[in-house]
Amino acid sequence: MLGNFHVRTDLALEARESFEEDDVKIRGVRVETREDEEKEIRTTLVKIETENGARTMGKPVGTYITMEAPNMSGQDEDYHREISEELAYHLKKMIGEREQSVLVVGLGNRDVTPDALGPRVVSNIEITRHMIREYGRAALEGKRANEVSSLVPGVMAQTGMETLEIIKGVVEETRPDVVLVIDALAARNTRRLSRTIQISDTGINPGSGVGNHRNGINKEALGVPVISIGVPTVVDAATIVGDTMEEMVETLDSSGKVRGFGGALGTLNRVEKQQMIRELLSPHLNTMYVTPKDIDETVKRISFTISEGINIALGGMA
């Protein structure tokens, strides 16, 4: 749901990194990294354990798992299968092993390429709820049989309704045990795009970074656990300009090419610099996003990989 992102990053991993330069351990936040060199997948667990940690990170208490795989937008099918299985492993742990009814929700706008990830994932999910209801679990021939249903709520500009209103109505009517939401995210760094999957048990909390919990798609709002899968596909245009700006200042200064250039800004601290850059930026930029030119291929491949992971985890008919 890229339509109205306000935060500079939806990735807990990046939120954590922004503190790294200070080399300080954040109280209430636990971080573990595991590198599977053979599989070329790096998994980072960020666990926000206390309200204090949540405030510092600008994200709710909960578990955030990030899978980074450099070739995620490539064409190697076996590699994609491994990512799907790794994803399934984490999902199963969060959802639990017993049979449940799961509503899979594809957030975003199917008509905007980088925002179409959620709807595309949903289009490949094996749906079983109606069959189990009609024929019983026996129909699925002894396989583990979660009742799987799905929803593509669309975006507010197209429906006139808050996404949360639609999901809430459907959840109250069909009473799933768990909701699984898939969404395109905004990253801070272009290098994260198209190679990162974030899984979380906190749902979707837009604008959490700036204290806005109003439209969170989470347990608090829906009454059932909400697991989210997100892939960064865009960078906020204002962010990219600001970051490149900072980078240049640093480079120019150290290169000595243009003496005093960075120094002039050196009197400002990090937050002041960002504030100033934001003020100077054209307001046009707040309605713009940056995305790779081959985003169609990337979204196609990664959405298929994620839907395979979900199908494995939910033990559909595949």
Site for a copy of itself in 262-281 (CB under 8 A): 264-265, 267-268, 276-277, 280-281
Around Cβ 198, how many Cβ atoms within 10 Å?
25
If you search the block for the tokens 């005093």, which residue do you land on? 260
**Encoded tokens for 69:** 């795989």
> Of 36-44, 200-208, 223-231, 284-292, which part binds a copy of itself (CB under 8 A)?
284-292
> Of 21-29, 195-203, 208-216, 248-256, which part binds a copy of itself (CB under 8 A)?
248-256
Around Cβ 259, how many Cβ atoms within 10 Å?
10
Q: Which residue among 20, 51, 111, 220 contacts a copy of itself (CB under 8 A)?
A: 111
**Encoded tokens for 209:** 């970074």
Spacing of C-alpha 100 from chain mean position: 24
DSSP state string for 184-232:
EEEESSGGGTTSEEEEESS-B-TTGGGT--TT-BSHHHHSS-EEEEEEE
Judged by CB, which is closer to a copy of itself: 37, or 134? 134
Interactions with a copy of itself, residue window 288-317 (CB under 8 A) = 288-297, 300, 316-317
Minimum distance of a copy of itself from residue 312's CB (angstroms): 11
Judged by CB, which is closer to a copy of itself: 27, or 143? 143
Binding mask 8-47 for a copy of itself (x = CB under 8 A): ----------------------------------------
Q: Which residues pair with 62 in a beta bridge?
A: 48
Contact call for residues 212 and 36 (beta carbons, < 8 A): no
- Residues in the interface with a copy of itself (CB under 8 A) total 82
Length of the chain: 318
Contact call for residues 46 and 64 (beta carbons, < 8 A): yes
Rounded Cα–Cα distance for residues 148 and 146 (Å) = 6
Minimum distance of a copy of itself from residue 18's CB (angstroms): 18
Q: Which residue among 57, 107, 148, 306 contacts a copy of itself (CB under 8 A)?
A: 148
Residues whose CB is less than 8 angstroms from the CB of residue 47 and which lie 6 or more positions away in sequence, other chains included: 29, 30, 31, 32, 62, 63, 64
Q: Which residue among 67, 152, 184, 313 contacts a copy of itself (CB under 8 A)?
A: 152
Applying CB under 8 A, does 61 fall inside the site for a copy of itself?
no
Applying CB under 8 A, does 157 fall inside the site for a copy of itself?
yes
Judged by CB, which is closer to a copy of itself: 60, or 154? 154
Rounded Cα–Cα distance for residues 59 and 209 (Å) = 6
> Of 35-43, 53-61, 122-130, 203-211, which part binds a copy of itself (CB under 8 A)?
122-130
Judged by CB, which is closer to a copy of itself: 50, or 244? 244
Helices (H), 96-209: 117-122, 129-135, 156-159, 163-174
If you search the block for the tokens 């069909």, which residue do you land on? 174
If you search the block for the tokens 């994260």, which residue do you land on? 192
If you search the block for the tokens 């959620």, which residue do you land on? 118
Judged by CB, which is closer to a copy of itself: 34, or 293? 293
Judged by CB, which is closer to a copy of itself: 89, or 261? 261
Q: Which residue among 6, 27, 55, 191 contacts a copy of itself (CB under 8 A)?
A: 191
Q: Which residue among 17, 19, 245, 278 contacts a copy of itself (CB under 8 A)?
A: 245
Applying CB under 8 A, does 100 fall inside the site for a copy of itself?
no
